[in-house]
Structure 1
């Protein structure tokens, strides 16, 4: 079995512990945490599993990497600490580990990543013999392999639209939701994630991946942005109160332009409460989130995926499926040559050996 470390125990890390424990080819051997309050706690407790897994959380990075793990699921956030995340991932690769992570947006399309990000990782691979696969927590499969798979079912394809429709009211990452995305701030606040060119920096790699797979050349990428204010104050379970008149919903697109027309589009519709912007796309059952692929062509095809996890944390299903894609790639990556990989390299894989392994 492949010795596997989970680094970070937030929204992604909790799901990663469960996914590693359920995978027949992987063995959870360490959990790395930052918070002193989590050190010494059993991994099952941190992941919301019953019983004990016999793996206690530690903050000793050197000791964990010195044990030469086969794989690291890097689940620590890269949103507010991209340089630190890059350094951490490089350390794990130099230790010889296969690393899977959603933390480095620019590595979604690793072939075209900026040299200042890619070059240190290439050097780490050469030094330590590890590998890296980055896929989005939004989740990545909804913006690459799923639309590409569905596109092959049609006779003609005019456009591909990938939608994430998300309710942040139960999401456990307040700094990102409030400050990066701007929920709860006055409408004249300029959130970093919505600044011009930033959405393209984050999701443009997935547009390029799809264009490469479809055999088309992109003329350009464009962005659109809409924001809505809350009509009334709302309270959330995980992030407290949001005042009327502050930002309550965001809708933006990153458009891949082919022949002067938007042909490959990634769209995000996010709210802090379902009452805001009710005329925008919503999940079919009014739930917390959905991921939708729309193929405009002949025939027109629409596929919506909804996932739920963690009980009251209704937004955790998307994280869990994103983690499933990452963790499910580990044994393939271990068998492959060291290097940097993207979503087009990693095959779609069935849940072989996982049926009936769920632990609550």
Structure 2
């Protein structure tokens, strides 16, 4: 059965998703919602480098609702709960890269109740997914834990080499690289809000609910002055940042997500810094140590990495459309299998 899909937002990830929907054998593009005025009224194919699709983009929510699509791939920078609930109550399922719906029990009760009511009204479901959080913090840990009968600790390490990221504003102004020190409180809070629900979801599924979440941040400095794509990183200034979110049960860490973003590997103090990708370590009665690397040159990686998040969401559309109404998690849904034919 072909699902009629609306692509909502066409930033880096949304554009990848749009292209994937157009090419997907079991999906049909029904509409595209854009935020920028200069993108409105264009053929969708023009926004993602493909031939004309016959689908014209719009900034009118009423037009999107009137399409009667089976699913909306909702990928804005920030989640608008009013919009999501309107889509759900209108009869459109929602797959989103916004992280509000990973673990219903972690949501504010009034928000959860409102979303559930919208799903009931429209006979629809909503699912949050992506690569991180999503695939690496939920789907893969659940698969790996299927080899265990005793799980001591499962750690997901995420590494991102930013030395080829030509974005001075992002690295130096927003993230605080190149300074004598930096305040990581905002990033720590953001990471706990983003990955805490995933850790709780996995722990609940395994029958070992977490007692608490705890998070912290740390940084390392450049040993020597070095040139990166964004500019000069002087000796003694912030060159790497590490944010850790831990799920605690019975006073010990059961699940851990740890993100290390760095501009050089020559650090003080010395850190175990690896190539861009993930390292998943399982300590238990069947130990595992798994490296997942992105085998892409650093000068082109920015054009590839949005696909990791977008593709997971696109591949989830058929199973979310087939799911019972409500907030559906990685645990609720069957395994997401990509239709590549």
**TM bracket (short chain):** 0.7 to 0.9
| Corresponding residue number in structure 2 for 1:228 | 220
Deviation track 1:275-294 (CA, whole Å, cap 9, x = no partner) reads: 464943444xx4xx212221
Change in 2 beyond 3 A, CA 1:63/1:111: same
- State the Cα distance separating 1:133 from its structure 2 match: 0.2
- Find the residue that maps to 1:93 and give its secondary structure: helix
Does residue 111 (structure 1) correspond to residue 105 (structure 2)? The answer is: yes
Q: Which residue of 2 aligns with 1:257?
A: 248
Aligned to 2:323: 336
Cα distance between partner residues in 2 of 1:39 and 1:242 = 39
How big is the shift at 1:144?
0.8
* Aligned position for 1:358: none
**TM-aligned CA deviation for residue 96 of structure 1:** 1.3
State the distance in 2 between where 1:39 and 1:173 align.
27
Gap change, CA 1:50 and 1:136, over 3 Å in 2: closer
Aligned partners of 1:32 and 1:242: how far apart in 2? Answer: 39
One of 213, 233, 239 as aligned partner of 2:205: 213
CA distance in 2 between counterparts of 1:129 and 1:123 reads: 10
Retained in 2: the 8 A contact 1:137–1:318?
no
TM-score by length of 2: 0.85
Aligned 8 A contact 1:203 1:266 in 2:
yes
Match of 2:192 among 200, 203, 218: 200
Structure 1 counterpart SS, 2:301:
coil
| Change beyond 3 A, Cα 1:248–1:87 | farther
Could you tell me whether the CA contact under 8 Å between 2:30 and 2:67 is conserved in 1?
no
User: Is the Cα contact below 8 Å between 2:319 and 2:336 reproduced in 1?
Assistant: no
Equivalent pair of 1:4/1:73 in contact (CA under 8 Å): yes
Query: What is the rounded CA distance, in whole Å, between the counterparts of 2:100 and 2:150 in structure 1?
Result: 31
Distance 2:128 2:310 in 1: 11
Distance 1:8 1:261, change over 3 A: same
Rate the CA distance shift 1:345–1:97 in 2: closer, same or farther, 3 A: same
Q: 1:179 to 1:133 in 2, by over 3 A?
A: farther
Q: Which residue of 2 aligns with 1:150?
A: 144
Kept in 1: contact 2:130–2:313 (CA 8 A)? no
Matches within 5 A, 1:86-165: 86-103=81-98, 105-154=99-148, 156-165=150-159
The alpha carbon displacement at 1:301 in A equals: 0.9
Q: Which runs of 5+ in 2 are unaligned?
A: none
Maintained 8 Å contact 1:108/1:136 = no
Question: Which ranges in structure 1 are unaligned for 5 or more consecutive residues?
Answer: 356-360
Give the counterpart of 2:287 among 295, 300, 322. 300
Structure 1 residues 30 and 203, CA gap change in structure 2 (3 angstroms): same
Give the Cα separation in 2 of the matches to 1:5 and 1:186: 46
Q: Deviations over 1:321-343 (max 9, x none)?
A: 23222222211222222211111
Aligned to 1:58: 58
Greater shift, 253-262 or 308-317, is seen at 308-317
User: Conserved in 2, the CA contact under 8 Å of 1:137 and 1:319?
Assistant: no
Figure out how many residues of one structure are paired with residues of the other and give that number. Answer: 337
Q: Please give the alpha-carbon distance, in whole angstroms, between the structure 2 residues aligned to 1:116 and 1:184.
A: 42
Instruction: Compute the TM-score of the two structures, normalised by the length of structure 1.
Output: 0.81
CA distance in 1, matches of 2:227, 2:104: 40
**For 1:144, what is the secondary structure of its paired residue?**
helix
Query: 2:101, 2:126 within 8 Å by CA — same for their partners in 1?
Result: no
- What is the rounded CA distance, in whole Å, between the counterparts of 1:298 and 1:123 in structure 2? 43
Conservation of the 8 A alpha-carbon contact between 1:101 and 1:134: yes
- Corresponding position of 1:18: 19
Asked if the contact 2:181/2:238 (under 8 Å) is kept, the reply is yes
Quote the residue 1:349 is aligned against: 336
